[in-house]
Amino acid sequence: MGGRWRRCEVVRLRREREPSAGNGRALTWNAQNLPTQVTSGGATTSFIYDGMGERVKKLSAAGTSYHLFGDDYEVTDGVVATYLAVPGLGVVAKRVGTGMSIQTFWLHTDRLGSINAITTDGSQYSAGTPVLHRTYAPYGETLSTTGTLIESRGWIDQRNDGETGLTYLHARYFDPKLGLFLSPDSLAPTDWTVGTNRYLYGRGSPLNGSDRSGHQVVTRCTQMGNVIVESTHFDTQTQTELTEVTVTSGCVAWETDHTRHPQ
């Protein structure tokens, strides 16, 4: 019991000193260690999750958003937005509205999948007209925004909540200004994908990989072909990296950093 109490106390103190209780921000947590409310600048944003811990509703002074069918389907204040993703490329387009009022936009991303620019398809404006442009710091803080289009997804194509300044990465929330998660990784610290700092993002290398799930870092692709890495894990007994591959169309070479593995 003593060891368990000390671990809980460390987590409590960590939360008091990090973004969950600092920078004018206060959080309320549920039993799944996910925030149900975030109060920042006197305004409160509320979240509802499904039984698997995925966020399905966000309520704030700016409006109400639903994500009942994953990342690629969003309803904000009654307006439907559906996203098109292509394997190996990520999100490439989105359609806003229903029926005869549908608008299509092209999403332009960088090698990590962050949405840098959005252009029109030509149905209502000249094709290729830019309506949004963003730049990001390495850990996802938005440095500049131009354009009038409202877009909830941004850095690594995930949802950056402007009301709270946090990025929703499914299993956990991330503070792009600090470059840290708000809660520790729930996977075992001895797993090489986690490391000893369970609040760290991308093993401290945000330009060489992305962590959309809050649990697993995906390193960037360096070559496309017919064979992709399906899964990779580090065998602590043999001190070797074991890889399983499948034959398909996709990535055949990934940038690796062997210093990430425990010695």
Domain definitions of the chain by residue range: 1-68+160-183, 72-157, 204-260
Condensed to tens digits (0 to 9), the pLDDT of residues 60-99 reads: 999 999 999 999 999 999 999 999 998 878 899 999 998 8
pLDDT of residue 194: 72
Stretch among 97-111, 164-178, 184-198, 235-249 having the lowest mean pLDDT = 235-249
Closest CA to 56 of 69, 67, 43: 67
Closest CA to 81 of 90, 69, 89: 69
| Dihedral, 60, 64, 68, 73 alpha carbons, nearest 10 | -110
Do the Cβ atoms of 199 and 18 come closer than 8 Å?
yes
Q: How far is CA 58 from the centre of its chain?
A: 16
Structure tokens that stand for 58 in this block? 């966000």
Do the Cβ atoms of 46 and 59 come closer than 8 Å?
yes
Condensed to tens digits (0 to 9), the pLDDT of residues 202-223 reads: 888 898 888 999 987 776 555 5
pLDDT of residue 88: 78
Q: Is the pLDDT of residue 19 over 50?
A: no
Separation of alpha carbons 2 and 187, rounded Å: 21
What's the mean per-residue pLDDT of the chain? 80
Structure tokens that stand for 54 in this block? 């995925």
Stretch among 5-19, 28-42, 127-141, 225-239 having the lowest mean pLDDT = 5-19
Q: Is the pLDDT of residue 50 over 90?
A: yes
pLDDT above 90 coverage of the chain, percent: 53
Q: Where are the beta strands (DSSP E) in the chain?
A: 25-29, 35-40, 43-49, 55-60, 63-66, 73-76, 79-86, 90-96, 103-109, 115-120, 130-136, 142-147, 159-161, 166-169, 172-175, 180-181, 209-210, 218-219, 221-235, 240-254
pLDDT of residue 101: 83
CA distances from 21 to 16, 18, 38 (A): 5, 6, 10
Closest CA to 20 of 166, 221, 206: 166
For CA atoms 218, 223, 229, 234, the dihedral sign is negative
Stretch among 40-49, 60-69, 229-238 having the lowest mean pLDDT = 229-238
Condensed to tens digits (0 to 9), the pLDDT of residues 122-163 reads: 766 666 789 999 999 999 999 999 998 999 999 999 999 999
Closest CA to 155 of 100, 202, 194, 88: 202
Phi-psi map region of 250: left, alpha, beta (phi>0 left; psi -120 to 50 alpha): left
Give SS3 for 106: strand
CB atoms within 10 A of CB 69: 11
pLDDT of residue 72: 95
- 185 or 64, greater pLDDT: 64
263 pLDDT band, cuts 50/70/90, is very low
pLDDT of residue 218: 74
The β-bridge partners of 28 are: 37
CA distances from 215 to 32, 171, 194, 239 (A): 14, 7, 8, 22
Closest CA to 235 of 206, 262, 202, 200: 262
